[in-house]
Structure 1
Amino acid sequence: MMKSMLYIANARIPTEKAHGWQIMKMCAEFAKKLEVELVVPWRFQTKFMKQIRDVHDYYAVGKTFHIKRIFSLNLTPPLDSRISRWIQLVQPILHWQQSLCFGLISSFYTLTRPVEVVYSRDFFTCLFLYLLRPLHQKRVFFEEHDAFPSTKLGASLKCWPLRHIDGIVVVTRHLGKAYQSKGIPSENILVAPNGIDVKQFPSNLERKIAREELGIPPDKKVICYTGHLYRWKGTHVLAQAMKKLNDDYLAYFVGGTPKDISEFKEFVSASQISNVITAGYMPPKMIPKYLAAADVLVLPNTSEEAISRLYTSPLKLFEYMAARRPIVASDLPSIREILSEETATLVKPDDPTALAEGIKRAIEDEKLGKKLVENAFKEVKLYSWEKRAEKIIQFIARRRQEKG
């Protein structure tokens, strides 16, 4: 019976990005059944994140697992520094250098730890652990969140070591099928979408009270988007959709890195969109309040990039469902793995007019909105972090038994 796990992630913890929330929540759930150690690199931090003294408290998890920070050759400056903007052209090179370094060092660190299972979100860690296989007998599992490589060479190189590890966890069925198409057996793959802690979205958090506390006008029809402001997330399409709605409608964009916030504000200003508020990054504990303050929640992902169209499992999607507010989302294969016409208003992606019409319909048709909200909340209960962790632990146990 498995007793211990090393969870390895090449991630800045804490971070403004959603993967930090996912990593910490999963470690907390694994720690209910196993002895867990989270291994992350030492990285430069932004000014806001430097203020976080208690990482476990920041992510609202118990101190049931240890966080180990190991050295990696980190030459990438913090996201909010001036240097970060100056060296944008060489950022990809610095990223690869840091990734290779962390993968190698985390692998050797793993060899020193008396654990049975290594569970990693980092490809290079899995690569080096495969190459170091003669030196250890640990079971290695990889959790994939990135897009599947678009070239034959890239796909072949990525799948080569992953064929030889013990299992792969993917967040969408399309991602699983992509790995199967390269010869990785279906029994080696587990599809496990992201999850949610429904208890963090209390039903008694009224819209009126949330707006008063956040300073949001009580008489506006409020649209809310939470998360990063990358173009593949569809944020610019939502901003353009707001231009097609009158000033009775007001959209709040909550999230983003300093660089992305600045660029998004410039886009909104240049486009002369008056009914958009860029709230900026907010701590995770504030998100339920913003969602409660809204009339409708929007997931406007683009169809132009494969990661959005096929491979993403957005945390905000599950948060929206738990918040008990009508959802308007892009009609994409990745989104349809969770949502349907019974749980959300689905609209043509990359079309500001269709998105604006969907928003109006979701707000004006109260009877339909109530039905969709009830169905979505019932459905989201199937996607708790606890159930996801149990599913993964069972998968690991099965694969260990099969391999003997």
Structure 2
Amino acid sequence: MELKRVVVTGLGALTPIGNNIEEYWNALVNGKSGGAPITYFDTENFKTKFACEIKNFDFKSYFDRKEIRKLDKFSQYAIVASDEAIKDSALDLERIDKQRVGVIWGAGIGGLETFQEEVKNFANGNGTPRFNPFFIPKMIADIAPGHISMRNGFMGPNYTTVSACASSANALIDALNYIRLGYSDVIISGGSEAAITQAGMGGFNAMHALSTRNDEPATASRPFDATRDGFVLGEGAGALVLEEYEHAKARGAKIYAELVGGGMSSDAYHITAPHPEGIGVIAVMKNCLQNAGLQPQDVDAINTHGTSTPLGDVAELKAIGEVFGEHAKSININSTKSMTGHLLGAAGAIEAIASILSMENGVVPPTINHEVVDENIDASLNLTLNKAQEREVNVAMSNTFGFGGHNACLLFKKLKE
């Protein structure tokens, strides 16, 4: 069976550094940080008092009051980003076969704020279980793609992938395979997360996963820097319209890039820590290259998982050196989490978008906030430090890894007819 080709025809983003694709890309290339003090709740008793929140977006004007009652933030974010991506794709929703259009979404946690507030209300009550009737359908992680499908009438595959921070990258891989095998013509895929809550911040603090650089939140996310002390929590959503190539070509769609491969692996090592030698990361990048039919020397840029954790950054760069050898020195390696923070289940989607836009614009966004060289990191690698770099990018890789040892890797390529 000949596999069908899969292309990207629409993009949408709602991020801590931009509320649409244009704003997001401009912020990336200009090295804008999304880190700032938390505004959602009183952080006096929290070890970490900052995060990368969505800023200056009026959800009350985007959704009516009844909709907001039914939608956790992570679903609101998903709808905003997917609306932009669908509009960008110029799909004619009156003419396409909606039974062949699906939504495969990623969320690592889902409706955490809804869960937190309902449990707090119950705990503060008299013991009578008076829960909001929307509690469960707001909270469950699979509800975001459900809302996207109902909003647009899409009747194809519809579900959520949950693999911690690899969730939306796994969603994109599933979407790739559904279209490759001929089961769908179009799939809206991506991910969303809204975990900047008391439970989210407190939980990650308890794990010692978050940076506590409270005096300088804008520079706290500093991948590859010797003084990094943990990741900065972010929120938002990224959406991509994936489409079978001939279907896109027939309707004259704008094509951003071809999604040529996806790889998956497991560290099989620890619930939160990466394998120190990056064994699972080596495997996932090799799997992805093989799946795409590409060689290591074909890759021009890698958007790393690069969370700004002491162990993770070193393990990933070791793995890149192992897979790419001498060619690793010719690759532009970066971490856009230095600007957006870590969007957990949405990270794979927004970073895939950054990789695609790097190809389209011939610019690799920087890894900002780097000040002190880490002696454990190969100094010959080009980590695109502090300033964007212009270069032709024909093939871009995007890495995303999650607690539990989940590894996912994507490869995008400039379209060749």
Per chain length, whose mean CA-contact separation is higher, i.e. which structure has more relative contact order (CA < 8 Å, sep 6+)? 2
Q: TM-score, normalising length from structure 1?
A: 0.29
Q: TM-score, normalising length from structure 2?
A: 0.28
Higher helix share: 1
Q: Could you say which structure has the larger radius of gyration?
A: 1
